[in-house]
Structure 1
Amino acid sequence: MLLRLPTSVSEAQEGLAEGAVPIGGATLVWATWQRDGFPQQAMSLREVPEANLVEPEALGAAVVLHRVDERVPEVLRRAAASVGTGAVRRTATVGGNIVGSTLRCLLPAALVLGARATVLDAERCYEAELAEVVAKRPLMLALRWRTPVASGYRKLPTEAGGPPPLVVATAVHADEEDRLLLRVAVRDGYDVLSEATAGHSGAERAVAALERTGLGALPPAARAVVREQVVAVLDPLSR
Structure 2
Amino acid sequence: MLLRLPTSLSEARKHLAEGAVPVGGATLVWAQWQRDGFPEQAMSLRSLPEANVIEHEALGAAVLLHQIDDRVPEVLRRAAGTIGTGAVRRTATVGGNIVGSTLRCLLPAALVLDARATVLDRDGTYETDLAEVVAKRHLLLGLAWRTPVASGYHKAPAEAGGPPPLVVATAVSAEGEGRHRLRVAVRDGYDVIGESAEFRTGADGTDEVLDALERTALGSLTLAVRDVVRREVAGVLTRLPGS
1:40 partner letter: E
Gap regions ≥5 residues in structure 2: none
% same residue: 72
Please report the TM-score for the alignment, with normalisation by the length of structure 2: 0.96
Measure the CA separation in 1 of the matches of 2:108 and 2:177. 26
Residue among 235, 238, 241 paired with 1:235: 238
Measure the CA separation in 2 of the matches of 1:217 and 1:130. 23
1:25 is matched with which residue? Answer: 25
Is residue 2:94 matched to residue 1:94? yes
2:6 partner letter: P
Contact persistence 2:180–2:199 (CA under 8 A): yes
Measure the CA separation in 2 of the matches of 1:44 and 1:161. 28
1:146 is matched with which residue? Answer: 146
Measure the CA separation in 2 of the matches of 1:157 and 1:102. 18
Aligned CA RMSD, in angstroms, stands at 0.9
Q: Offset of 1:221 from its aligned partner? A: 1.1
1:111 is matched with which residue? Answer: 111
Is residue 2:221 matched to residue 1:218? yes
Q: What are the superposed Cα offsets for residues 133-160 of structure 1, whole Å, 9 maximum, x if unpaired?
A: 0000011000000000000000000122
Contact persistence 1:172–1:199 (CA under 8 A): no
2:216 partner letter: T
Measure the CA separation in 2 of the matches of 1:95 and 1:200. 35
Please report the TM-score for the alignment, with normalisation by the length of structure 1: 0.98
Measure the CA separation in 1 of the matches of 2:125 and 2:177. 33
Q: Offset of 1:212 from its aligned partner? A: 1.1
Measure the CA separation in 1 of the matches of 2:150 and 2:3. 41
Once the two structures are superposed, the pairs formed by residues 180-195 of structure 1 within 5 Å of their partners are: 180-195=180-195
Contact persistence 2:150–2:239 (CA under 8 A): no
Gap regions ≥5 residues in structure 1: none
Runs of 4+ in 1 over 4 A off after TM superposition: none
2:57 is matched with which residue? Answer: 57
